[in-house]
Chain A
Amino acid sequence: MLYIKCPHCGMRSQNEFSYGGDASVKRPELNKEVSDQDWDNFVYNRKSLRGKHWELWQHISGCRQWIKVERDTATHEIFKTLKADEEISL
């Protein structure tokens, strides 16, 4: 069982959360020329790191906020959690 510290609600079990994928992926800017490669990288291509990985989770059975979680994909250790609008420092 993972325990995730929601920045709004505190430490909660994994059962209350739903996964949202890689948080480092950024949508290409609107109103700008976007190449097919940029869209590919946004929609499909993923690094899927082994080790520390910033990812989105939604506290679906709690405050329903999206949050960012830094988790090790090999050990499942969770290092840090941030609110959705806080920037990741990679």
Chain B
Amino acid sequence: MKSKSAILVGVGGQGAILTAKVLVNGLMKAGYDVKMSEVHGMSQRGGSVSTQVHWGEKVYSPVIGSGAADLMVAFEKMEAVRYANFLKPDGIAVINDYSIPSATVAAGLETYPEGCLEAMEENFKCYTLDAAKIAMDLGSAKCMNIVLFGAMTKALELDDIDWEEIIRETVPPKFLELNLAAYRAGRAAAE
């Protein structure tokens, strides 16, 4: 097979790195060679963050550049726009219909851009969902990342991987039921 790449983008603290780890655990279990890249440091302080996952029979580079991602998962919609150039023209985007104003927007120095979702949907095959609302309906905003993860697994079409089993192995027992429900709801939202 040709190797595949995903890019998970959001704002520091949203759980993009953790979600990427669940994805990687599944890919490892399925026997793929996997590489993952993340950046720490400055970016954690409310800045824009991205994590990349690259998998296949044998993969070399842990990072990708422009026009190389098969899949994007955007935890925040302006971040989807920021990283859109990483997507292949026929790439797929899973987008959280959720906005976090940046400090410059909050301070009134900039305005939050209009039409992020529409621009993405006009250019790429998109699965858009309100993961925050789905998570709140399930009882906790904290499982928003697993809702997005569920939608991502649908978009990925890696159906030979038992993702529920991977979640069981990754998530502490206390939060297992919530996260399984979040996963299923996310998957259903991407149907």
Same complex origin of A and B: no
Name A residues whose Cβ lies closer than 8 Å to a Cβ of B. none
